[in-house]
Structure 1
Amino acid sequence: MSDFLKHECGVAAIRLLKPLSYFQDKYGSTLWAFNKLLILMEKQYNRGQDGAGIGCVKLNMPLGQPYLFRTRDASKDALTSIFNGQIKKLNKKVRRGQVNLKDAADIKNNFDYGGEILMGHLRYGTSGLFDEGSCHPYLRRTNWPTRTLMVLGNFNMTNTPELNQRMIERGQHPVFGTDTQTVLEEIGYHLDEAHTDLYRALRDSGMPGPEIPHAISSRLNIQEIIHNSAKQWDGGYAIMGAIGNGDYFCLRDPHGIRPCHYLITDEFIAVASERVPLMTVFEVESEQVQELPPANMLSIKADGTHAITEFTTPLKPAPCSFEKIYFSRGNDPIVYRERKALGAALTPPNRGFSGRPF
Structure 2
Amino acid sequence: MKGLVGNMGIAHLRYPTAGSSANSEAQPFYVNSPYGVVLAHNGNLVNAEKLKVHLDQDVHRHINTDSDSELLLNVFAAELEKKGKVRVNDEDIFTALEGVYKLCVGGYACVGMLAGYSLIGFRDPHGIRPLVFGTRTKADGAKDYMLSSESVVLKAQGFTEWRDILPGEAVIIPKDTMTPVFKQVTQPLSYSPDIFEYVYFARPDSVIDGISVYRSHLAMGDMLAENIAKRFGGRETLSDFIDVVIPVPDTARNAALQCAVNLDLPYREGFVKNRYIGRTFIMPNQKERKSSVRRKLNAMGLEFKGKNVLLVDDSIVRGTTSKEIVQMAREAGAKKVYFASCAPAIRYNHIYGIDLADTRALVGYGRNNQEIADVIGADDVIYQELDDLVKSVLASGNNDKITGFEVGVFTGEYITGVEAGYFKHLENLREYNARFKQNSILAGDDPKAEVDIGIYNEGDY
TM-score range, shorter chain: 0.5 to 0.7
- 1:274 and 2:162 matched: no
Whether the 8 Å contact between 1:262 and 1:272 is mirrored in structure 2 is yes
Match of 1:166 in 2: 54
CA pair 193-172 structure 1, distance change in 2 beyond 3 A: same
1:324 correspondence with 2:208: no
| Paired amino acid for 1:302 | K
Residues 36-64 of structure 1 show CA distances to partners (whole Å, capped at 9, x for unaligned) of xxxxxxxxxxxxxxxxxxxxxxxxxxxxx
Q: Does 1:309 align with 2:189?
A: no
Residues 65-90 of structure 1: per-residue CA shift (max 9 Å, x gap): xxxxxxxxxxxxxxxxxxxxxx4xxx
The match for 2:30 among 135, 139, 153 is: 139
Matched, 1:341 2:219: yes
1 or 2 for the larger relative contact order (CA 8 Å, sep ≥6)?
1
Are 2:101 and 2:125, in contact at CA under 8 Å, matched by a contact in 1? Answer: no
Higher Cα radius of gyration: 2
Q: Which moved more, 1:129-138 or 1:258-267?
A: 258-267
Residue 125 of structure 2 aligns to a residue whose secondary structure is: coil
* Aligned residues: CA RMSD: 2.2
The one-letter code of the counterpart of 2:102 is K
Unaligned runs of 5+ in 1: 1-33, 36-86, 88-112, 199-212
| Aligned AA (2:48) | T
TM-score scaled by length of structure 1: 0.58
Superposed counterparts of 1:246-285, under 5 Å: 246-265=117-136, 266-282=142-158, 284=160
Looking at structure 1, the residues matched to 18 and 11 of structure 2 have their Cα atoms a distance apart, in angstroms, of 19
What displacement does 1:122 show?
Answer: 0.5
Match of 1:109 in 2: none
Q: Which amino acid aligns with 1:344?
A: D
1:291 pairs with one of 155, 158, 164: 164
1:302: Cα distance to partner?
3.0
State the partner residue of 1:151: 39
Aligned ranges 1:181-200 → 2 under 5 Å: 181-194=70-83, 196=84, 198=85
Q: Aligned residues: percent identity?
A: 24
Q: Which runs of 5+ in 2 are unaligned?
A: 137-141, 243-461
Tell me how far 1:134 sits from its aligned partner: 0.5
SS at match of 1:119: coil
CA contact (8 A) 1:263 1:289 kept: yes
How far apart are residue 174 of structure 1 and its match? 4.3
Task: Please tell me whether the aligned partners of residues 107 and 126 of structure 2 are also in contact (alpha carbons under 8 angstroms).
Answer: yes
Q: What is the Cα deviation at residue 316 of structure 1?
A: 2.3
TM-score, with normalisation over the residues of structure 2?
A: 0.46
The letter for the 2-side match of 1:294 is: P
Contact 2:169 2:186 in 1 (8 A): yes
The structure carrying a bigger helix percent of its residues is 1
Count of aligned positions = 225
8 A contact 2:132–2:150 mirrored in 1 = yes
Amino acid corresponding to residue 341 of structure 1 in structure 2 = A
Q: Once the 2 structures are TM-superposed, how far is the Cα of residue 240 of structure 1 from its aligned partner?
A: 1.0
